[in-house]
Structures are given as C-alpha cells and as structure tokens.
Structure 1
C-alpha cells in the first residue's frame, strides 16, 4: 500500500528524481496544500481528510509541473489517494475543472441552458449541481435525452418514435430511439449552431510522422467535408450499399477521411490494426467478407520505414 501524503518527505522526492533544493520547496508546497485542504474540506468516509480536496489544492498551487519526473507525479498522486477505495468510489480523480472551464464543456453548456428550468432553485452551476443533474437524467431519460440529442445536432433521416421504449419486458433495459435512422458521419460533417460549429471551424489538427519540427496542420469543416464526399462518391460508384470496406492504416488524416467516407456512403467499416501481421490481416478480411481495403505500402516509425503487409 502506498504511503499517505503526510508521510512523503524531501528524501522521497529526491529519490523520485527531484534535486534536493527543488524537493524541499515542493515539500513546503505540499504541506501548505494539505493544510488548506484540511481547513476548507470535509473528511472523506474512513479518511482524515478528503483526498480530492488535497489534490485540488495541489493543482491550484501548480505544484506538479510537466518538467517534473514522472516518478514524482506518481508518488504524489498515489500518496494523496493512498486510502481511496476505488472499488466503491471509482478511480481517484486527477483533474478538477474550474467553474469557467466546466461551463464551456458540452455538458456544462447543457446544464447552464436547462438546469434552472429543470431543477428550479436547486440548480447552482455545473460543478455544484452535477450529481443532482445526473440523478434527474437517470430518472427522466425522455426529457434529458431529448435535450441532449438536440444539443448534439443529430439529424435524423427518420426520427425515433420515442426516446426509450420500455414496453417489451423481455428487454429489461428497453429499446433506445426505436425506429430512428441517421448517418453519424453526416452529423459530424454538417455545420451546427448548437455546437457552435461552422464551415470555417477547425475540424482536424495533426502533424505528419517525421515532421515534429514543423507546425501542425489544420483542416476546416468545409475542407474535411469536401474530402470525405470525394472519397464517398468514388466508393458509391464502385461498391453497393452495405458492402464491407476495410481500413488497414495508421491513424492519419487520410484514415479519418476514409473512415468518415465509408460511413457517409452507407458502407460498413472494417478496422484493422496497422500492427497486424499479413496472416492476421488476411484472416480479418476473410471473416468480414470485405469487398475492398484501403491501405499503404509502409508506415514510418522513428524515421524508419516498415512494410505494412
């Protein structure tokens, strides 16, 4: 079992990779953060103080930095949460958004738009009212998911007859969105006022393998849509709707375009890991009955070229 955060000292931090002077400064910040958490927080079940408050204080103080050795991050994290019962409470939390950050998330915007109408005066903000809002969503799935689907700007070819059909008792969890038909790639590629996504919005950001010294590349939603439609139209002229099309490529911008194009065109995507040996690739093509495959001759890793198949 990891030692508690109160037992971590300068020698432990030095052993984890910090110079002694930096370790002494870090240890002071650590003690101050624990003291603030003790004053402001409430004890956690079975613990002297809430480790989430300790971690929150450490994050606010900027104690851990990217330049610190990974072992320092591990030491502090596991020491803070040494008494945390993950089986009962889930994994220990690492990141706590600020109130302003929480309001900029998809869920935060949804809560700010509808929270007061649904919860009345009980609603405060996305952080304080998170558990209350989550409980409402579980107890009123029709109301919550109607709002969520609208916020996500899903464009249905055929809308569902309801959100959740619980009439069939042989399906204890019911049937979600019965009768609905939509193309998820189409939803990804269209502008959305709710999502604040326009044609000029950046849709993809990437850097090509072997070009770490170069600036990242960017593609707008309009540019992505044009590329996807180009590939989708080519597929439509060659294959039949419902055909299985495989992709055996690394995760590149081209693979993203191809994946969306296969879905947009009404075909079935067969994803094959680029690490598979030729025999495994052939096996998956046979099992899926793929009618076509997108691939490349080789992949680049660390400046070297490796045959893909």
Structure 2
C-alpha cells in the first residue's frame, strides 16, 4: 500500500485482530499518521470524519462496503484525498469494489489476506503491479502459496485451478504453538509434503486464474468468515439452538455468492415436531437469530436466510457434515432458480 510520511491511515479494527497492530506499525514506522475514530463506521459521521481528516489510505472489510453501499452514507462527502483502499477479512465482490473505488475517483483497492496466526499477509495486491478487481496479484514477501486439488495433492505451479489453499511452512511471523490446542494437529496433520516440506493448512478455498491472479472463495472447513471475523459454526449454533422451543437443533453454514463476495450465513433448522409449523415462522426466526448473534457475538454478523431441514447429514462418529449440507442448500437454490 506504499504507506509513507504524510499519509493519513484509517482502518476500522481493534487490537484483538491482526489489523490493529498492523495499523499501529504500518503508520508510525513509516512516518504516517493514524486517523482514530471512536464509534461505529456504519454511520454518516464516520464518512464525514474520513473527509475532514483527509484520509489517504482507508482500510475496509467487504461487509462494511456492502453496508455503505446499501445505506449510501458516503453521499455528499468528499473522499478525494484517498489514494488507495485496503481490503481484508473476507472475500471481496467485484461490484462492491467498483462502487467503493467510485467514492474516491476510482483509486485502487489493494486486497490483503493473511491471519493473526501468521502475523501478517501471505497474499496481497501491490501498487507496483497491475491490479484486478477483488483479486490478489502476488504472494506476500517470503511466502509461497500452494493450491490443493480434489485429491489433496498440490496443483502444478502457474497452472489455473481452484482448491484448498496450503502454505509453505517457512513464513515470517508464523505461529509455532497455540494456547489450548495442538499446533501440529491444527496446521500440519494430514497435510501433503511438497518439495520435501510438510505444508501448512490455512482453510481457505483459493483460485489461481489463467491471467495470473489469485481469488479467495471463503472457508473450506467449519470455521466461517462472517463480517471479517473468523468464527466457528459451533459458536453460532450454541446461540441459535436456544432461540425457540420448537427448534431441536441448528447448523450454521456459510454459502458463497455466485458473483463472488463475502460469504452469506445460512442457518439450517431441525424442528422438534412438525416441519410445517416451523416453516410458517422463518421470518420471525431470522430476526431472532440476527438479534441474538449481533448482541452476543458480533454486531457485524447477519443471517442471510433460514431453511428448515428434516435432519442433518452426519458421519459415522455423529459429526455434522456441514460441507454436504452446504452443497445440498446450493443445489436446492439452483433448482429453485431453474423453475423460472
């Protein structure tokens, strides 16, 4: 993002997320200034603050951009001092990125993807290279990216393909141990060996395009990325299960949009008795789920839809197969569209 002396950097974040320390070090070590706003970035006073502080680099997560676009809170404010945006936390949407660029005379959006457990990014955009909307142009310095095929083995380097992303284990800033979890089991167990090195698991689905860019497609495991925050399905389900006494069980899954962009949160509901009775109150359940999740987990979490299912697909050891459920819901949605 080429942050330098004279820049004014704003990024709605906190010190519990990787971008909090990033904001402190990226600005001050480079002689730039931090623009600190105490309040929600979802209101028009934040848009005015960006104008008045003459912010030159504004960081976002795609959920924020979507909210700004839907409510049009940036209307009437001058963001022409912005020379570039940074975007991280979720898969970006081409349409929303284009809208965001339009707020600042079509200055570029630099995509940035990494993790707190890595201490930075492993793939990024760069002002030194041509950029593509909602895509990354290069691995970050010192990183190598490997995309795994359906058979779990690495795809050939430089060949277009899509699959689970794996990382070369030698990385600047990467974790070596975890609190309350086994580091090896989380990141390395059952991963393939590539050029003599056991690869490191990340959990995102990535695409390498024929034009040489990388695109993120969300999570491949049971950890979701909602509102720019990683959260486990279990955390969401624990709250949703107690919402209504007609609910036997819930399953939380993330479903990608066909045109790309942030994952949508879908709650599958299993009724205690009559499915029909529960289907009549889906709108009410959606409101209750949203209210509880935003209050108890994160105000950026939003349930996109609620579906009723008779049972959950499970493994022999009784674990919920959320990937199977996700695929069933996607197929059901495609089937509904094909009727029209």
Fold-level similarity (TM above 0.5): no
TM-score w.r.t. structure 1 length?
0.27
Higher-RCO chain (CA-CA 8 Å, sequence separation at least 6) = 2
Structure with greater proportional strand content: 2
TM-score w.r.t. structure 2 length?
0.26
Larger Rg: 1
Structure with greater proportional helix content: 1
